[in-house]
Structure 1
């Protein structure tokens, strides 16, 4: 499963990089709701709990589904433009057509890219929300009863939370985001849209277009992002791709592609490597086999040669080699050679990271 972007490979105009105070504010709110997966934000989280009153914390928990695993589209930039303030971005949400606002909210509550949820929430949608959680159903009922009032209340909360526990943090965050943005812009000027391949992708290729928007003599760039759902979106001058760096959003990798609005990719600004779905799958598959688990145990503490492993496990050398190859392909072993003998040792750090890496893939 993956999200595929099709974009013109001839220029950089369809891809831009911009920071977003609203996106970073909502990344902070997500940390507040799911602190366990964001150890790098522990210092901010401690300050937030010390500074915020109980009323704001309660409200943050009530609104949390909007910036959860499936972020509401309007909480990321709705249009291209540098230098936007938080007030500018909140105003843009306030001016969003109410049908789009309702549909984007419903998407976040349900956690699906379903665009047939506007202009009003049906009984069927509320029933789906009830089966997810009663709190989401209650949010959906409030939204259906008075969407304009719902939006005003949400924007008032975001402004109040920012004043209480985000505005003081923003100058330092802005510097970090601007540093990353400057690097990405330089890369974009040098490499064009191929800069997207630095993000968690599974493949990058030029393919002949079958749509009428690109002539048969031009080949769009096809970039496939490692995600746990399938979708395809076209990027061009009329619908740009906005790259939005985040500090507090790590390890999440967010792609939003609501029809009629720019494609937005929010990525970690620290440049840390992120695991791919295929890597996690290969490692889980490799360790599922009982024989490979025995091999892992045998090479955990010390490097061992294939012939010795065959003796210890009562197997033939070719059998051991086949299992070691699977562990090597999953990047779970280190090898080194002494003369003609190759020694294998388990990569204990890779095993230790498997849990957090798998969580990172699922959260993405």
Structure 2
């Protein structure tokens, strides 16, 4: 399955690149909720949990489905304007017509493309009832959040915006002050790339492929979707805490947004010795297979041993070599240690190699 952006006759003028404090805030919240997929965000998660009081922490869990894998569209930039501050982006959400706020929320909660007329959720009781039955099957917190949404969408929006502003005051403003220079370096780099290669900048990601006849960029994702850059401008938004995910969102009448991962240490140089060590470690078919297995999903030594038909000590020895080379992170989940590939470290060895691992 794939998400396809049809280019048509669009040129580089239809593709913008900018930072978004709101998008990064929600990537931060997502990384806390799914830390096993974001090992590089562990220090932030510890700071976040220490900074939040009990009430805010509980609200974070209640709202979490909105910034899950299928991010609510309004939690990414709603306009293509440059130099938007967090307060301005939150006011954009505040001004969003209620039917669209409700529909975008429901779209995120469903978690996949739906043919249902979401704009009718405001006044179609039968459609809301059908959606509630679907949410009950997904999870308790999806069902509870949907209940609040359908009971009083305006109040839910006010509560959500109040929560986001409180998190910004308690923790995110300090984190954004640290990350913004890193993100701005990436923005300048991507603008330069766009100016050099035009719409081909949209294919400058490991999961993207440029195809012709008709001209389009195909993103390897777990769900099907399609949008036209001729009809909606496209906005590229780099994210540190979004790493390793690429989020692609489109809603009619709003820009297509591609939030893509970058590393906080993107500009740091890798020594020749580190490069040599990493290439040497990867010169082993078993370690390549391990990297493929833990690219998208963290796994324990026992899980990997079962999947690869090896003993746990054999897997441990290979994982140790990968950890020593800085290619794999381990994090404790109760009594179990799970391992995940450091996508940025591999990306810096070569995009072609990372793309080959994803196949």
Question: What TM-score range do you get, normalising by the shorter chain?
Answer: 0.7 to 0.9
Is 2:112–2:223's contact at 8 Å kept on the other side of the alignment? no
Q: Are 2:154 and 1:148 equivalent residues in the alignment?
A: yes
Is 2:4–2:217's contact at 8 Å kept on the other side of the alignment? yes
In structure 2, what is the equivalent of residue 192 of structure 1? 198
Higher helix share: 2
- 1:63 deviates by 0.6
Structure number with greater Rg is 1
Is 1:200–1:226's contact at 8 Å kept on the other side of the alignment? no
In structure 2, what is the equivalent of residue 254 of structure 1? 247
Q: Are 2:129 and 1:136 equivalent residues in the alignment?
A: no
Is 1:98–1:148's contact at 8 Å kept on the other side of the alignment? yes
- What's the secondary structure of 2:3's corresponding residue? strand
- What's the secondary structure of 2:13's corresponding residue? coil
In structure 2, what is the equivalent of residue 314 of structure 1? none
Q: Calculate the TM-score normalised by the size of structure 1.
A: 0.73
Q: Are 2:353 and 1:347 equivalent residues in the alignment?
A: no
> Which residue of 150, 173, 178 corresponds with 1:172?
178
> Which residue of 219, 226, 231 corresponds with 2:225?
231
> Which residue of 253, 256, 260 corresponds with 1:263?
256
Is 1:241–1:264's contact at 8 Å kept on the other side of the alignment? yes
- 1:52 deviates by 1.5
RMSD (CA atoms): 2.3
- Structure 1 residue ranges without an equivalent (≥5): 209-220, 274-332, 335-344
In structure 2, what is the equivalent of residue 106 of structure 1? 106
Aligned residue pairs, count:
280
Q: Are 2:295 and 1:357 equivalent residues in the alignment?
A: yes
Is 1:129–1:136's contact at 8 Å kept on the other side of the alignment? yes
- What's the secondary structure of 2:241's corresponding residue? coil
- 1:357 deviates by 1.1
- 1:76-91 matches, cutoff 5 A: 76-91=76-91
Is 2:2–2:222's contact at 8 Å kept on the other side of the alignment? yes
Deviation per CA, 1:10-56: give whole Å up to 9, x if none.
62111010110000000110111111111111111111122211111
- What's the secondary structure of 1:77's corresponding residue? coil
In structure 2, what is the equivalent of residue 301 of structure 1? none
- Using a 3 Å threshold, how does the CA distance of structure 1 residues 64 and 9 change in structure 2: closer, same or farther? same
**2-side partners of 1:266 and 1:272: how far apart?**
18
- 1:77 deviates by 0.5
Deviation per CA, 1:226-246: give whole Å up to 9, x if none.
11111111002x510000000
Is 2:22–2:75's contact at 8 Å kept on the other side of the alignment? yes
- 1:179 deviates by 0.3
**2-side partners of 1:129 and 1:146: how far apart?**
17
Out of 346-355 and 99-108, give the one that drifted further. 346-355
- Structure 2 residue ranges without an equivalent (≥5): 267-280, 299-339, 341-357
**2-side partners of 1:14 and 1:132: how far apart?**
37
Is 2:4–2:225's contact at 8 Å kept on the other side of the alignment? yes
- 1:8 deviates by 4.0
